[in-house]
Amino acid sequence: MVLFATNTTFPTARCHVRGAFRIATLRGIPIRVHYSFLLVLPFLAWLFGQAFRSAAQAAEVPPERLMGSPLAWGLGLAVALFLAVLVHELAHSLYALRKGGEVSDITLLMIGGVSRITRMPQGSRHEALMALAGPVTSLVLGGLFLGSYVLLEGARSFNLRFAVFYLGYLNIFLGVFNLLPAFPMDGGRILRALLTGRLGRVRATRVAGAVGKGFAVLFGLVGLLGGNFILIIIAFFVFMGAEGESREVLMQSLLNRVHVRELMVARTAAVEAGASLEEVAERMRAERRRALPVVEEGRVVGLVMLANVRQVPASQRALVRVRELAVPVPELTPEATAWEALKEMGQRRLPQLPVVRDGVLVGTVTQEDVMRGLELRELEDSNTHGPWGLGPRERESPT
């Protein structure tokens, strides 16, 4: 049985994982549990219960002297494993917050845990240290538990000895497994950070991604031969994660060289904050728009979307003012990069953003505009810069 923990970036149009619900908030970080965790928990309890006798013998504890049934111990150990994963993920997240990063949430899945870092700390050194924080925390906890097991050698509390032995083993395993250089797992992120200074971030990500895919294939083969379906699922997630992160870093590299002024539509039609939702609905139908900038005294103050209008019954739209439902938006200027625009739209789950200069509306940019710009930039770079599709800046500077 193996589980993994990782941290990943989600700057584009993704929010929390669907099917996950919040169970707590620690240091401002929402802790979520995915329904798949609840599905796998009974299986893990049964699996740990099956290994109960051999685990007790490894801990040099007589199985018959332990209180409770093997299934109850199995459930307790399964929950303990996920708590160890949660502590591992908190180590990533707290380091990111301390170094100026932003954390969306931590989600526990059937295969482990994921810290969703919406803004990484600046610099490859901090990325490496953030990735290292999780495994180091797991290894330290494992060492403390195993040390306690040694200190309890002469004690009669067989239950306590067995518990600390197994907790030590789980944390050591979690730390060591996640140090494998299988990007986007922790070890793979450390590898990427070490390569960035020499190769540049895009090439380093490609190399680390290729190594991660190699490990994913290895995990899959071992899982198939050993009948470990969890390992097969982990192989799938590692492979897709490596591919997705490689794509996203390349996307960031390309879009950082495109400005919003190159993509925006010079559209200055807006709706007044004091207008009714009925007027907005008519405008949207007539202009075939899903969103409209909201202005007050000539300055952009937000965005009203089709979803906002739909949530109000048609009979009441004449009574509701736009300012009551307008969504605040960041000030996006024509000089901002396309990557900044895509990141803001993704994190805020907005279909478009108004583009302003000195607070005055000068146009709009949508996710479709940005993705079209990305495709054109990729086409241009593939014709100009060879198979890597990298611009001169990336070729000349590895940092």
User: Same domain for 44 and 75?
Assistant: yes
Residues, the chain, total?
A: 399
User: Same domain for 165 and 126?
Assistant: yes
Contact by Cβ (8 Å): 131, 190: yes
Tell me the two tokens of residue 397.
Answer: 């500077």
Q: Which residues are bridge partners to 337 per DSSP?
A: 259
User: Same domain for 248 and 268?
Assistant: no
- pTM: predicted TM-score of the whole model, two decimal places: 0.75
Tell me the two tokens of residue 14.
Answer: 């993704």
Contact by Cβ (8 Å): 322, 314: no
User: Same domain for 226 and 297?
Assistant: no
Task: Examine the fold and report which residue of 255, 280, 306 is the final residue of a domain before the chain moves on.
Answer: 255
Angle at the Cα of 151 from the Cα atoms of 146 and 156, rounded to 5 degrees = 110
Q: Omega before 392 cis (within 30°)?
A: no
In a domain, 78, yes or no: yes
Distance CA 208, CA 191 (A): 6
pLDDT tens, N- to C-terminus, the chain (399 residues): 345 555 555 444 344 556 788 888 988 899 999 888 888 888 888 888 888 888 888 888 887 778 888 888 888 888 888 889 999 999 999 999 998 888 888 998 877 788 888 777 888 888 899 999 999 999 999 999 999 988 888 777 788 888 889 889 989 999 999 999 988 889 999 999 999 888 888 899 999 999 999 999 999 999 999 888 878 888 998 898 888 888 888 888 888 888 999 999 887 788 999 999 999 999 999 888 888 999 988 889 999 999 889 999 989 999 999 999 889 988 899 999 998 898 888 878 888 999 999 888 999 999 888 888 888 777 776 665 544 444 444 443 333
Percent of the chain that is helix, strand, coil (3-state, to 5): 60, 20, 25
Per-residue CA distances from 15 to 107, 168, 350 (Å) = 12, 34, 11
Residue from 256, 247, 251 nearest 209 by CA: 247
User: Same domain for 285 and 362?
Assistant: yes
Distance CA 388, CA 391 (A): 9
Domain range spanning residue 209? 4-255
User: Same domain for 38 and 61?
Assistant: yes
Cα 259 from chain centroid (whole Å): 26
In a domain, 374, yes or no: no
User: Same domain for 27 and 64?
Assistant: yes
In a domain, 351, yes or no: yes
